[in-house]
Amino acid sequence: MHFLVLRRVFPPALLAMNHHGIASMGLAIPSRYLDVRDLADLRGVDPNKYTKGLGCHEMALCAEGEDVVTLAAAAARRAIERWGGPLSDLGLIAVGTETAKDMSRPLSAFVAEDLGLDGHVRSYEVKHACYGGTLALRQALEWRASGASGPKAALVIASDVALYAPKDPGEPTQGAGAVAMIVAEPRIAEVDLRSEAYAKPVFDFWRPVGESFPKVDGPLSLECYNLGAERTFAALAGDRPVADLVGEFEALCFHVPFPKMVKKAVMHLGAANGWDEPTTAGLFETKVMPTMEDNRRVGNAYTASLWISVARALRGLQAGQRIAAYSYGSGFGAELLTLTAGKDAAAAAWAADLEADLAARRRLSADDYQAWRGA
């Protein structure tokens, strides 16, 4: 009834302008990888700890000449090519990352230089640990929805290289990758303007200025990740049971530091909402685990991890089918987004990116890895 009244007042073209989302997507990962079982051999650890205990399989590693910028630019080129518009139609480039190249110059400037993008465009970097890419996407959507964008589209990129000190407990969770999205008409997916955020200032994972590797309080980071999930799902459900909300989605995507952490959060969500364990485990197996297929082969790509999972979940969806996306960034900030598949989701053109990159990459031996890391 409401909808009919709206349609009578606003012409369809104007209504369409009020829908924003992902018009095109591109992904990129580095050209080398290490099997976590080889890392386990090197570190004298039972490989089951990494594969079963953490749920990891492989970690993407940059080769000489590859870094956070080349990954971001490669993903962006793929997204722009599929979108088909000229660079002059982009009014915003925002890069979410925690692999900053400079304390002042934004990563977006390095990427824009590589792409040849300049002129009437707002260009900036967004930092909030693994949440930065999601924040860049939210800002781009809200920029479009406010009308400030005019007819221009946004280029949003999440790009990171996750490396820990050799022998650090986080070493098996390393990875790297980038996801680029053109935010404009929702050909692939509409991103609902309503989302739920939750934040609490803590030190669970941080990298002091001038240091190469992060410091982590693993148990605190898990506790905060779980709390963020519990609170954002409850807030989005409102007066309804969280189970009803979850039932609306074909898939639930999570930020993936490593797959076991996601499983623990889903089990926590179940316990917080009084679901029995088999029901929660079933939900994890059917709606969450399949979204992490690519994450298990890429490793943690920080800002890009959630969007690698979303890219997987959107593959082959029919227009109108819905997914949820839980973003988490240490520090901490969390946000739950919902997306509705558009007409281009079924064909999933972006799926070719990871298939090509995964097929072409070179497996490092444990010796290669040790020589590269120097330990």
Catalytic, 355? Answer no
176 binds ligand COA per the rule CB under 6 A: no
As given in the structure block, the two tokens for residue 114 are: 């590589």
119: its two tokens? 């002129």
Using rule CB under 6 A, residue 316 touches ligand COA: no
Q: Does 257 bind ligand COA (CB under 6 A)?
A: yes
Q: Across-strand partners of 361? A: none
Residue from 58, 66, 98, 335 carrying the catalytic annotation: 98
52 binds ligand COA (CB under 6 A): yes
- The reply on whether position 33 binds ligand COA by CB under 6 A is no
Q: Which residue out of 56, 130, 224, 253 is catalytically annotated?
A: 130
Residue 49 beta carbon to ligand COA: minimum distance, rounded to whole angstroms: 3
In angstroms, what is the C-alpha Rg of the chain? 20
DSSP 26-42: EEE--SEEEEHHHHHHH
Look up tokens 């971001």; give the residue.
72
Annotated active-site residue 98? The verdict is yes
d(CA 311, CA 315): 7
Nearer to ligand COA, 317 or 325 (CB): 325
Q: Which tokens go with 312?
A: 């997987």
Does residue 49 belong to the site contacting ligand COA (CB under 6 A)? Answer: yes
Query: If you write DSSP's letter for every residue of 313-342 in order, what string do you get?
Result: HHTTPPTT-EEEEEEEETTTEEEEEEEEE-
Establish if 46 lies at the interface with ligand COA (CB under 6 A).
yes
Angle at 11 between CA 86 and CA 7, to 5 degrees: 125
Q: How far is the CB of 269 from ligand COA (least distance, A)?
A: 16
DSSP 8-state symbol, 171: G
Residue 226 is a binding residue for ligand COA (CB under 6 A):
no
Q: Which of 290, 97, 93, 263 is nearest to 177 (CA)?
A: 97
Binding to ligand COA by residue 218, rule CB under 6 A? yes
Has 125 been annotated as catalytic?
no
Residue of 20, 57, 128, 255 with catalytic role: 255
* Interacting residues with ligand COA between 325 and 354 (CB under 6 A): 328, 330
Residue 258 CB, nearest approach to ligand COA (Å): 6
* 203 binding ligand COA? (CB under 6 A): no
Under rule CB under 6 A, residue 131 binds ligand COA = no
- Which two structure tokens, joined as six digits, stand for 101? 């190249």
* Residue 197 parent element (H or E): strand 196-199
Q: CB 46 → ligand COA: shortest distance, Å?
A: 4
Q: Look at phi and psi of residue 261 and say left if phi exceeds 0, alpha if psi is from -120 to 50, else beta.
A: alpha
- Given the DSSP bridges, would you call strands 362-363 and 32-35 parallel, antiparallel or unpaired? parallel
DSSP 361: P
- Does 173 bind ligand COA (CB under 6 A)? Our answer is yes
> Does residue 133 touch ligand COA according to CB under 6 A?
no
Q: Note the residues at the interface with ligand COA (CB under 6 A).
A: 46, 48-49, 52-54, 169-170, 173, 205, 216, 218, 221, 225, 257-258, 260, 328, 330
Tell me the catalytic residues: 98, 130, 255
